[in-house]
Amino acid sequence: MSHMDIAHPYFGAFIFFVLTFVAFIGTTIIARHISRKMARLDNDKLKMSIYECGPEVTKQPNQISSHFYLFALLFILFDVEIIFMFPWAINFKILGWFGFAEMLIFIFLLTVGFIYAWKKGAFEWHSIK
């Protein structure tokens, strides 16, 4: 087959994809040039000043306590584990005593994890200094 097969079923989709890509790039370039021509390039003092009330902002190091991360991680952990109980509650009669025993083991492990986090002090909020 030495010639191009124009009757291929995806040829029209390919041409449409190429034209869409060219139109996207062209529109982006044209919009960029028009916006640069129309934009005012003067940077006066009023434009560059702060517009919110209060004193001028001084640069301070951003210090976020790792306690926020630990608290969020524990919330997600226990929240997702609680979600696992909903399918069990819906199929409670179908699962029978075996499903009940499995859920008791699951709740026991969840309780052990909760007590471990509590003993390690993960739920106590430390003062930020």
Per residue in 79-94, pLDDT tens? 888 888 888 888 888 8
Domain count of the chain? 2
Residue 9 included in any domain: yes
In three-state secondary structure terms, 13 is: helix
Residue 5 is assigned to a structural domain of this protein: yes
pLDDT confidence of residue 68: 79
Q: Could you list the residue range(s) of the whole structural domain that residue 82 is in?
A: 66-119
Does residue 77 belong to any structural domain of this protein? yes
87 class by beta-carbon count within 10 Å (0-12 exposed, 13-18 middle, 19+ buried): exposed
Buried b (16+ CB within 10 A) or exposed e, 43-72: eeeeeeeeeeeeeeeeeeeeeeeeeeeeee
CATH of the domain at 105: 1.20.58.1610
Q: Are residues 114 and 75 located together in one domain of the fold?
A: yes
Q: What beta strand segments (E) does the chain contain?
A: none
Residues 76 and 34 occupy one common structural domain: no
What per-residue confidence (pLDDT) applies to 129?
46
The pLDDT, as a whole number, for residue 43 is 65
Note whether residue 48 is domain-resident.
Answer: no
Residue 59 lies in a domain: no
pLDDT, tens only, 10-59: 888 899 999 999 999 999 999 999 988 887 666 666 666 666 666 666 66
